[in-house]
Amino acid sequence: NAGVTQTPKFRVLKTGQSMTLLCAQDMNHEYMYWYRQDPGMGLRLIHYSVGEGTTAKGEVPDGYNVSRLKKQNFLLGLESAAPSQTSVYFCASSYYRPGQIIATNEKLFFGSGTQLSVL
């Protein structure tokens, strides 16, 4: 049981290049998330998904796109990387709490992070 796996762990890009970060979870979680972490800023939500085939914008979505074609995978894409996107990226997943009128998520399981530098 690997939990949440992120690839790659490190990447250096030049301004304008594109790349895709892959997140995979083997816990059959409905919810998946992409966060970025910058010094002094805590974690900020980029995009999230509440199920296969669905995505939604978070707090800082500009410059990123996501896809959830399979329940276990959540991809984060940078079409044209900018230095402002230098950050540590974390993927997370969580269980959906059934039986509630308004769904709430439970605890998040995080991947180990991707250190991205854009020069």
Partner 1 sequence: SQQGEEDPQALSIQEGENATMNCSYKTSINNLQWYRQNSGRGLVHLILIRSNEREKHSGRLRVTLDTSKKSSSLLITASRAADTASYFCATTNIFTGGGNKLTFGTGTQLKVEL
The answer to whether 27 contacts partner 1 (rule: CB under 8 A) is: no
The answer to whether 22 contacts partner 1 (rule: CB under 8 A) is: no
| Least Cβ distance, residue 104 to partner 1 (angstroms) | 5
Cα distance between residue 81 and residue 58, in whole Å: 19
The answer to whether 63 contacts partner 1 (rule: CB under 8 A) is: no
The identity of residue 108, as a single letter, is L
The answer to whether 4 contacts partner 1 (rule: CB under 8 A) is: yes
Count, residues near partner 1 per rule CB under 8 A: 29
Distances (CA, A) of 31 to 59, 89, 91, 109, 117: 16, 17, 11, 10, 27
Contact by Cβ (8 Å): 39, 95: no
Cα distance between residue 23 and residue 65, in whole Å: 14
The answer to whether 41 contacts partner 1 (rule: CB under 8 A) is: yes
Tell me which residues touch partner 1 (CB under 8 A).
4, 31, 33, 35, 40-45, 48, 50, 58-59, 90, 92, 96, 102-113
